[in-house]
Amino acid sequence: MAENDEDNNVGRFNVSSKFWRVLLMIAAVFLIFAGPTYISYLLFNILNVNYVASVVSGFALFIVGLLLMWFLIRKKIIT
């Protein structure tokens, strides 16, 4: 476990590579900003999902984005 923390390896992924750092950062930012706004709008207005369900799913995506950002900061992948 200590080797994984030092090398920034998570499973099979080497998250210290530039590709994975950029991809995970874009995913976290997308989930934080687009999750509660655009995804809720898409679900409610275009796919005709219940309003409460669309807001709850947007909030869930926001929380996932925050957790991903917290993971990236904790592992010192982004500074």
3-state DSSP assignment of residue 13: strand
pLDDT at 8 over 80: no
Q: What is the pLDDT of residue 4?
A: 46
pLDDT at 17 over 50: yes
10-36 burial: b if 16+ Cβ within 10 Å, else e: beeeebeeeeebeebeeebeebbebbb
In this prediction the pTM is 0.79
Q: What is the pLDDT of residue 14?
A: 78
pLDDT at 57 over 50: yes
